[in-house]
A = this chain, B = another copy of it.
Amino acid sequence: MKFKMIHENYNVSDLDRSIKFYNEALDLHEVRRKTTDDFIIVYLSNDVSDFELELTWLKDHPQPYNLGECEFHLAFQAEDYEAAHKKHEEMGCICFENEAMGIYFIVDPDGYWLEILP
């Protein structure tokens, strides 16, 4: 019985702000959206894989999300690690560097951590 990992969902409190961030920081763009009276779901992707990031906005949840200890993250392999680090430094979104492991983390507008590795 086969199961294919196809997306990771993060709920966000401001869709436009998140889409702008993921576009600028990670070159992801909207590929489709589903809109209802209660929620909007937006799928972000790029042309280097078919895995998608799903952003869910709930009408009834205007407040910030409680991420608990935030001990989870989506990881991105950078084609050019040095250039990525420079860009994220300029954006001011680097939240943790692990030089021993040769990776760093950026944080999205809702507080979700994203790992960048070479």
Contact = CB atoms under 8 A, between A and B. Distances in A.
A116 B71 CA distance: 22
A77 B83 CA distance: 34
A75 B7 contact: yes
B76 A3 contact: yes
Contact of A83 (B1, B8, B73): B1
A78 B9 contact: no
Interface residues of A, number: 47
Given A49-B51, A66-B68, A68-B67, A73 B9 contact: yes
18 contacts: A1-B27, A1-B83, A1-B87, A2-B48, A3-B46, A6-B49, A8-B72, A9-B73, A9-B74, A9-B75, A10-B71, A11-B69, A49-B51, A51-B51, A56-B71, A61-B71, A66-B69, A72-B72
Interface of A: 1-11, 26-28, 46, 48-54, 56, 61, 65-80, 83-84, 87, 112, 115-117
Across the A-B interface, give the 6 residue pairs with the lowest CB-CB distance, nearest first.
A68-B68, A11-B71, A66-B68, A2-B79, A3-B76, A4-B48
